[in-house]
Amino acid sequence: METVATEVSIEESYKKLSDHNPLMVQRFGADPYALVYEDRVYMYMTGDDFSYDEKGEVTENTYGNINTINVISSDDLVNWTDHGTVYAAGKDGAASWGNNSWAPAAAYKNIDGQDKFFLYFANNGNGIAVLEADTPYGPFTDPIKKPLISRDTPTCAEVTWLFDPAVLMDDDGSAYIYFGGGVPSPDKAANPGTARVAKLSDDMIHIEGDPKPIENVDYLFEDSGINKIDGTYYYSYCSNFSMTKAAEKELGFDQGEIVTMKSKNPMGPFKRCNPVLKNPEHFFGLGGNNHHCIFEFKKKYYIAYHSRILEEKMGILKGYRSTNIDVLSFNEKGEPSASRGTRKGVKQLKPIDAFKENMAVTMSNSAGIKTTQYGEDAVKYGSGDMIVTDISDGSWISVSGVDFGIDGTDSLTVCIRGKSGGKIHVRVEKPDGEEAGVIDLKGITSKFKEKTVKLDNKIVGKHDLFFVFEGEDFEMLSWKFN
C-alpha cells in the first residue's frame, strides 16, 4: 500500500495522533471516577458543556448549568467506547429534584443474585444523590426520590461544600461513602474540618448511622478519593489555595495538589501520607481545580484526573475540563507517591480484534464528528447505545492497535444509514496514510444496514485504523473485518 492523495482536506484532531490524553475529544468530561467491572474500566465524568452569552460567545465555566454525567469505557485504556450522557438532574433528569450533577462516583454490588450499579453525585454543593441501574451505563433511575445526604443529615449542616463523593467497596462486602470539602472561614484554612465518611447500607441507597468527620485533613479543599491498597486505606483529596509558602515547605505539598492520608480502618483515623499529583498547571501550564481518581486495572494502578488541554487546543480558555489517565507511582514503602501528568498517557494494554463487531463510537481519536444516542432507552435516559454522527468531508475516527492477524483480510463490513452517497476511506497509521480501500455508500437508506465490501489491499498485522469520511448526511453504527 502507498500513501494516497486525499480527495478531501483532512480535519485536524484536538490531540496528536501519538497522544492518548485526553481520553476523548468529542466532548468534555471532568471530575473523573473509575469503576472496574468485568475487565473494563467505566469512566464517569461531570458533563462540562459550553455556556454562551447573548452574543453567542463562550463564557466562563461556572458549573451552574451542568446536570449530566458522561460515561465511557475501555478494556485497553486507549480505545474508549462512548456510552453517552446520563441525564442525572434537572427537570429531565433521573433526580429531577436536583439542579446539578457534579463529581460522580460509582460502585456495583450483587444484590439478590443480580449485579446492581450505583451512581452518586453532588447536587452542586448541597447534597449527594444516588441513582441505580442494571448495567454500568444505565438507564439510571432514582430509587429514593430525594437526597441520600443533605443539610438535614446529622453532622452535615456545617459542611461548607456538601459534595464530591467517593465510594469504597471493602473486602468484606461493606461499603462506605466519603464526601465534603470547603473552607468555612480563612482562619480554618489549615484544618477546615469539612470531610465526612459514612457507612452505606446493604442496599447501597441509604446510610447507616451518622456521618463521621475525617479529622486533621491538612488544608482540605475538595475531591474525595478512597482506595484500599495492600490492606491500607488511602483517603485522598485536593489541597486548598490558602497555603502559604511556609506551609507548603513544612508539609511537603503545594496548594491545589492531590494528597493522601492512610489508615488501617475505613473510617479512620487517618494520618498524613504523600502527595500524589500536582495541580494540572504544573504539567500543562493551565491551572484550576484538581480532581482525581485512583484505580487498579490489570494489576497496575492508575490515576485519572482532569486538565484543560482540550479547551486550550480549541482556543477557548474558559475553564472547561477533560479527563486524562497516567500511571500512579509508588515509593519504596509501597505507598502511592508523586506521579506525573502527561499528554502521551498510558500504553495500550491489549489489541483490538479486527474480526469482532466493534462499535463506531469506540475510538482512540477523532476529528470533526459527534456522537449521539441510538435507540429508545438511550434517547430517553441519555446513556446507552451511541452512533457516530455529524459526519462531514475530511472528518474521521481512529482505533489504535487493531490486530488483523498474520493472514490479514481484505473484506470489511460496516453498518451505516443515511442519504445515498458519500464514501468511507479505510486507512492505516494516519488519516492521510496508506489506503486499503474505499467504501462507496451509494444505495444506503435511512435504516441501519450492513454493507460488505472487498478492499483494494489486504491489511496484515497490527495497525492503527482510520475511517476517513467523504460527504455528509450519513451515520455509522459499527464495523468488523471478515
pLDDT tens for the chain, 482 residues long, are 444 444 689 999 999 999 999 999 999 999 999 999 999 999 999 999 999 999 999 999 999 999 999 999 999 999 999 999 999 999 999 999 999 999 999 999 999 999 999 999 999 999 999 999 999 999 999 999 999 999 999 999 999 999 999 999 999 999 999 999 999 999 999 999 999 999 999 999 999 999 999 999 999 999 999 999 999 999 999 999 999 999 999 999 999 999 999 999 999 999 999 999 999 999 999 999 999 999 999 999 999 999 999 999 999 999 999 999 999 999 999 999 999 999 999 999 999 999 999 999 999 999 999 999 999 999 999 999 999 999 999 999 999 999 999 999 999 999 999 987 899 999 999 999 999 999 999 989 999 999 999 999 999 999 999 999 999 999 999 999 99
Distances (CA, A) of 278 to 121, 195, 288, 309, 480: 24, 21, 11, 15, 42
What's the CATH architecture for 30-337?
A: 5 Propeller (2.115)
Q: Global pTM?
A: 0.97
**In the numeric block, which cell numbers belong to residue 141?**
433511575
The residues that bridge with 52 in the sheet, in sequence order, are 58
Residue 31 designated active-site = yes
C-alpha pair distances (Å), 424 with each of 392, 412, 438:
11, 11, 6
Catalytic residue (choose from 222, 254, 257, 475): 222
Taking a C-beta distance cutoff of 8 angstroms, is the pair 479, 360 a contact?
Answer: yes
Catalytic site residue from 31, 75, 432, 470: 31
CATH code, 352-481: 2.60.120.260
- Strand 434-440, strand 423-428: pairing: antiparallel
195 phi, psi to nearest 5 deg:
-90, 145
User: Positive or negative CA dihedral for 104, 109, 111, 116?
Assistant: positive
Alpha-carbon gap, residue 401 to 37, rounded angstroms: 22
Cα gap 225→227, rounded to integer Å: 7
As annotated, the residues of the chain forming the CATH 2.60.120.260 domain(s) are 352-481
Beta strands at 166-169 and 409-418: parallel, antiparallel or unpaired: unpaired
> Nearest CA to 463 among 408, 424, 411, 388?
408
The CA-based dihedral angle spanning residues 240, 242, 245, 247, taken in that order and rounded to the nearest 10 degrees: -70
Cβ–Cβ under 8 Å, residues 301 and 330: yes
Task: List the one residue out of 34, 263, 296, 291 whose CA is nearest residue 167.
Answer: 34
- Examine the residue annotation and report whether 222 is marked as an active-site residue of this protein: yes
Q: Please provide the distance, in angstroms rounded to a whole number, between the alpha carbons at the two ends of the chain.
A: 19
CATH 2.115.10.20 domain range(s) in the chain: 30-337
